Amino acid sequence: MSALLGLDYATSDDDELQEQTINECEITGDATATTARTTTQDEEDGLDGLPAEPPGAAAPEVQARIARFLDMQRVSSSQDQCAIPRFQTSLQSKKEVANPYILDKVVAYFGIDELHSNFSRDVFDPHGLALHEFSDHLAMEQKRRADERQQQQLARTRSHIPFVSAKQPSA
């Protein structure tokens, strides 16, 4: 997708690897993180259902990209405390990502299943969810109920208020 948009940043798979390597670098203090860190049993307890860590080290070019990103992040964060917002601003200012409807177009063009999951279907099937669990259906239901409530309130309002004169004159 980044080739389609003409962007030069990592894909989602590279982002996951980047986050993993950043976390390892914070622990080990190593910017290159060429060796995989073993996970203890205490750390695995919260990862039920996730696949095991792949064997071996990452590709050298991926490691180089991560090391370059970490160096850029260190330099910019040492100069300025708002380095990440500056990165986001520069990314948002690019013409390739300025179109807010590009996601819909890319999804339609490539036929991407937005509900896809990396879990097997017996563990989690996003297409097996009931219709009432989707946000757009919930929004439509809320709108329908609000409209009904408004109609009931309009029906209860009086169109005419009868005025009755006093039977005894006030003294």
Cα–Cα distance for residue pair 138/80, rounded to 1 Å: 43
The token pair that represents 122 in the structure block: 């017996």
Pick the more confident residue, 84 or 159. Answer: 159
pLDDT of the residue at 77: 64
Q: Which residues contact 47 (CB under 8 A, 6 or more apart)?
A: 39
- CB–CB of 34/63 below 8 Å? yes
pLDDT of the residue at 83: 53
- pLDDT score of 140 more than 90: yes
Dump pLDDT digits (tens) for 42-59: 455 556 777 888 888 888
Q: Where are the domains of the chain?
A: 2-41+50-110, 126-156
pLDDT of the residue at 148: 96
Dump pLDDT digits (tens) for 13-47: 555 555 554 555 444 444 444 444 555 554 555 56
Pick the more confident residue, 5 or 168. Answer: 168
pLDDT of the residue at 97: 72
- The angle, 0 to 180 degrees and rounded to 10, between the axes of the packed helices 12-28 and 60-79 is 70
- pLDDT score of 135 more than 80: yes
pLDDT of the residue at 39: 54
Q: Sign of the C-alpha dihedral, residues 103, 104, 110, 114?
A: positive
- CB–CB of 143/137 below 8 Å? no
- CB–CB of 77/83 below 8 Å? yes
Cα–Cα distance for residue pair 21/34, rounded to 1 Å: 9
Most confident of 48-52, 71-75, 144-148: 144-148
Cα–Cα distance for residue pair 19/52, rounded to 1 Å: 16
Using pLDDT thresholds of 50, 70 and 90, give the confidence band for residue 61.
very high
- pLDDT score of 5 more than 70: no
Cα–Cα distance for residue pair 24/41, rounded to 1 Å: 17
Using pLDDT thresholds of 50, 70 and 90, give the confidence band for residue 85.
low
Mean pLDDT of 88-99: 76
